[in-house]
Structure 1
Amino acid sequence: MTVPRSRAEIFVVPDQESRFCGPTTGDERRVLTAFLDDQRTTLRMKCTGVETELAQRAVEPSTLSLLGLVRHLADVERRWFRKVLAGQDAAPRFSSAADPDGDFDGADADAAAVAEAWAAWRDEVAFADRFVAESPDLDVMGHDAWRGTVSLRWVLIHMVEEYARHNGHADLLRERIDRAIGI
């Protein structure tokens, strides 16, 4: 007989957990980047073990999928770190003005498309990590057409929020795929 448990009790054993182990005190940059790393790790964990189901949609009419989240977050990383903060001419990889939801709508189960999404995501995360590490401080500024002038500090906090919100979506998507919770 299975004993019912609360969802809050279904998490990985802390000694074996590979996320949420960043510093709880100290330098602001170190704490913020650790929080962002934890959220990125959570996304990877949610997508592990269901590689062939990554493009499975949530429910009609939604086009939300784990693969769509990977593509979306690659574009979000690209926008804030390359375009806004670094000032590069960096168009989104998966969406466009003509197809603003291309990151989700175009998420295809094809193995090459999945590999492309993960490669793009890893490239953008690596760029962001380098940018943050090489920035003299968190007051580095960039201009965004939507928000105006933003600091690296604001972007890091926004990225933690962005991942946390989408990791909540990933919780539900993963549960729909294989009933896994607490990953």
Structure 2
Amino acid sequence: MSHPTRRGELFGGADGARRFTGPATGDERRMLVDVLRAQRATLRLKCSGLGPELSLRSVEPSTLSLLGLVRHLAEVERRWFRRVLAGQDPPALFSSTADPDGDFDGATDDHGGIAAAWETWRTEVAFAEQFVAEAPGLDVEGDDSWRGTVSLRWVLIHMIEEYARHNGHADLLRERIDGAIGM
């Protein structure tokens, strides 16, 4: 008699399982960084093997797509790590005052949009990882127009939440595209 597997175990195989191998006890920074790393890896996994399908929308009237999520999360990384914590003033990547949902609305496969979105996301993640690695501690602070003063600790927790929420969206989007399911 064979044992049924859970539906969530079917996506990603060994690569998927390796995302969550970090410590479950010990140093707070290391745990937060590792959980965020795993959430970022989950986004990559949910988008793996796809090309133009990344720009497929969920259901009308929504403009939600996997490509939109990549673009949105690049913007989120940029906001919290470059603007708020590092105090830089770089321009927005995909949205603007006139087009606040440009990260999703403009997520199309036109003119190399997919490759550019991934490169931008990787650049912002690399900046964030370097900032966190070089920060003297989790109590480093920055000022945000929405939340006021925030610590690096809060930003890491918020980023984990942001990725986890959007990875839930990615689960459904990916299943709609090709039936791939799982954690």
1:29 is displaced (CA, Å) by 0.5
Residue identity opposite 1:38 in structure 2: A
1:52 is displaced (CA, Å) by 2.2
Residue identity opposite 1:62 in structure 2: S
Which aligned segments of 4 or more residues in structure 1 are displaced greater than 3 angstroms?
Answer: 3-6, 8-16
In structure 1, the partner of 2:83 is: 83
- Find the aligned partners of 2:16 and 2:74 in 1 and give their Cα distance: 28
Residue identity opposite 2:56 in structure 1: Q
Matches within 5 A, 1:1-183: 6-13=6-13, 17-110=17-110, 112-182=112-182
Return 58-67 or 107-116, whichever deviates more: 107-116
- Find the aligned partners of 1:24 and 1:156 in 2 and give their Cα distance: 16
Return 13-22 or 81-90, whichever deviates more: 13-22
Return 123-132 or 102-111, whichever deviates more: 102-111
1:90 is displaced (CA, Å) by 1.8
SS at 1:39 equivalent: helix
Residue identity opposite 1:118 in structure 2: W
Deviations, residues 140-170 of structure 1 (Å, cap 9, x unaligned): 0000000000000000000000000000000
- Find the aligned partners of 1:9 and 1:67 in 2 and give their Cα distance: 24
1:51 is displaced (CA, Å) by 1.8
- Find the aligned partners of 1:4 and 1:18 in 2 and give their Cα distance: 22
TM-score normalised by L of structure 1: 0.93
Change (3 A) 1:123 1:16: closer
- Output the aligned Cα RMSD: 1.8
Judging by fraction of residues, say which structure has more helix. 2
- Find the aligned partners of 1:111 and 1:7 in 2 and give their Cα distance: 37
- Find the aligned partners of 1:175 and 1:15 in 2 and give their Cα distance: 18
Change (3 A) 1:7 1:33: same
TM-score normalised by L of structure 2: 0.93
SS at 2:20 equivalent: coil
- Find the aligned partners of 2:79 and 2:56 in 1 and give their Cα distance: 26
- Find the aligned partners of 1:135 and 1:99 in 2 and give their Cα distance: 33
Deviations, residues 110-136 of structure 1 (Å, cap 9, x unaligned): 361111100100000000000000000
**Structure 2: 5+ residue runs without aligned partners?**
none
- Find the aligned partners of 2:51 and 2:20 in 1 and give their Cα distance: 24
Aligned length: 181
Question: Once the two structures are aligned, what percentage of the paired residues are identical?
Answer: 70
- Find the aligned partners of 1:61 and 1:124 in 2 and give their Cα distance: 29
